[in-house]
Amino acid sequence: MRRLAQMVLTLFVLITILFFLFRILPGDPLTMFLDAALPVEVQELVRAQFGLDKPIGEQYYLYMRNLLRGEFGVSFYYRRPVLEIIGDKLINTLFLMVASLTITFAVGVLGGSLVAWQRGSTLETLAVGLVIFLRSAPEFWLGMMALALFSYRLPLFPLGGMNTPGQNFHGFLEQYFSLDFLHHLLLPALVSASYYLATPFLVMRGSMIEVMKEDFIEMARAKGLRERQVLYRHGLRNALLPVVTVLALLIGFAIGGQVLIETIFRWPGMGREMVLAVQRNDYPVAQAAFFLMGVTVTFLNFLADLLYGYLDPRVTYD
């Protein structure tokens, strides 16, 4: 419960910072649409339409009030409701993000523990080298190399986008739960997963090595458990805890990388929309996009915390 209140407070601070941040950025949202030749009265009228003539304090109050009602306002650029513009894009982004984070952690946890068991082997040296290489290479470079290799040289994957063009979808399920979607999702998800892999992989490896030295591991062996049971039930289970902590941190980073991945793979997600909105001084869209990203990060963090509390009985949230 306290954790939930913290989450709300975090979001409130976030949206406040966003609101003022965009307003102190140079540039006026209306200069793009308003012809300087228009009479000043007309210019003022348009300004008033968007509520930009009011003092900033009042704008803030109105914005917050609308937000609580679930209204994100109207885009200055598209002149359509913000939710209409970014609603679908948020879902697209979430699909890609969750897919790549799942791959990152599944491979990181299993791979990291595997090389910890095979401590000192060639496999360990190679795997550690590889994940560090993937982490050191810029994400956009990885993305372009992947496209060049697996979409252009070997046409295994589509060059970008989310679905093969020219299709009409009847409803949500048909669009997102199809082989075609999966086919488009795989490459960007793998690229961003391989970029983030190093963190859970190395944390898991280190954590596993430490845990395997613990007294309770020796005890599990003394109890006559099979080596596999010792490793999974006691080793991996305990080594997982620091990885969950890292998960929470990594989610935040992943959002930033999302912008690059979406641009390279022409993924119709929110990362791209966010960048455009900032460039256009489209306050409502930018604010909403950042806000929703913030909600996503905060919420995923909250889930990670809950997961940690579930995995470690020593931690309680009251």
Q: What is the contact surface with another protein in residues (CB under 8 A)? A: 214-216, 218-227, 229, 233-234, 237-238, 311-314
CA angle (181, 104, 112) in 5-degree steps = 150
**Euclidean distance between CA atoms 265 and 185, whole angstroms:** 9
Q: Nearer Cβ to another protein, position 98 or 217? A: 217
**Euclidean distance between CA atoms 166 and 161, whole angstroms:** 12
Q: Nearer Cβ to another protein, position 174 or 312? A: 312
Residues 6+ apart with CB under 8 A from 229: 220
Nearest by Cα to 126 from 115, 142, 110: 115
Q: Nearer Cβ to another protein, position 28 or 210? A: 210
Q: Which residues pair with 81 in a beta bridge?
A: 74
Q: Nearer Cβ to another protein, position 94 or 209? A: 209
Q: Residue 226 CB, nearest distance to another protein (Å)?
A: 6
Q: Residue 305 CB, nearest distance to another protein (Å)?
A: 17
- Find out whether 112 and 208 touch, Cβ atoms under 8 Å: yes
Give the DSSP letter string of 88-137.
HHHHHHHHHHHHHHHHHHHHHHHHHHHHHHTTTSHHHHHHHHHHHHHHHS
**Euclidean distance between CA atoms 112 and 104, whole angstroms:** 11
Q: Nearer Cβ to another protein, position 169 or 216? A: 216
Other beta carbons within 10 Å of 43: 16
Q: Nearer Cβ to another protein, position 1 or 222? A: 222
**Euclidean distance between CA atoms 220 and 211, whole angstroms:** 12
Q: Nearer Cβ to another protein, position 90 or 203? A: 203
Q: Residue 121 CB, nearest distance to another protein (Å)?
A: 14
Q: Which residues pair with 74 in a beta bridge?
A: 81
Query: What are the backbone angles phi and psi of residue 283, rounded to the nearest 5°?
Result: -50, -50
Q: Residue 250 CB, nearest distance to another protein (Å)?
A: 22
Nearest by Cα to 267 from 171, 173, 157: 157
Q: Residue 88 CB, nearest distance to another protein (Å)?
A: 41
Q: Nearer Cβ to another protein, position 153 or 314? A: 314
Q: Residue 117 CB, nearest distance to another protein (Å)?
A: 12
Residue 293, token pair as written in the block: 């990203």
**Euclidean distance between CA atoms 173 and 171, whole angstroms:** 6
Q: Residue 91 CB, nearest distance to another protein (Å)?
A: 35
Q: Residue 4 CB, nearest distance to another protein (Å)?
A: 25
